[in-house]
A = this chain, B = another copy of it.
Amino acid sequence: MTKRIGILTGGGDAPGLNAVIRAVVLTAHNAFGWEVVGIRQGFDGLLNGMPVMKLTPNVAHDMLARGGTVLGAVNRGNPFMRRTRLEDGSEVLVDAAHEVITRLHELNLDALIAAGGDGTMAAAMRLVDLGARIVGVPKTIDNDLSATDITFGFDTALVTATEALDKLQTTAESHHRVMVLEVMGRDSGWIALTTGVAGGADAILIPELPFDIAVVCNKIRALQETGRRYSLVVVAEGAHPIDGEQEFIIKGDPMYQGRLGGIGYLVGNAIASCLDAEVRVTRLGHVQRGGQPTPRDRWLATRFGSAAVHFVAQERWGHMVALHGTQLIAVPMEEAVKIKRVNPDGEMVRMARHLGIVFG
Contacts and interface: CB of A to CB of B under 8 A. Distances in A.
Contact of A167 (B170, B291, B325): B291
Nearest to A291: B167
A302 interface: yes
Given A31-B354, A254-B257, A291 B166 contact: yes
A296 B296 contact: yes
A209 B195 CA distance: 38
Contacts of A36: none
Contact of A171 (B68, B161, B179, B354): B68
What is the interface of chain A mostly: helix, strand, loop, or mixed? helix
Contacts of A73: 174-175
Interface string A321-333: 0001111100000
A359 interface: no
A30 interface: yes
Interface of A: 12-13, 15, 17, 23, 26-27, 30-31, 57-58, 61, 64-69, 72-75, 149, 155, 158-164, 166-177, 179, 194-195, 197-200, 226, 228, 253-255, 257-258, 260-261, 265, 269, 280-292, 294-296, 298-299, 302-303, 306-307, 324-328, 347-348, 351, 353-356
A355 B69 CA distance: 19
B294 A175 contact: no
Contacts of A284: 282
A171 B306 contact: no
B287 A282 contact: yes
A324 B324 CA distance: 9
Contacts of A302: 197-198, 351, 355
Contact of A160 (B167, B261, B281): B167
A60 to B, nearest CB: 10
A140 to B, nearest CB: 14
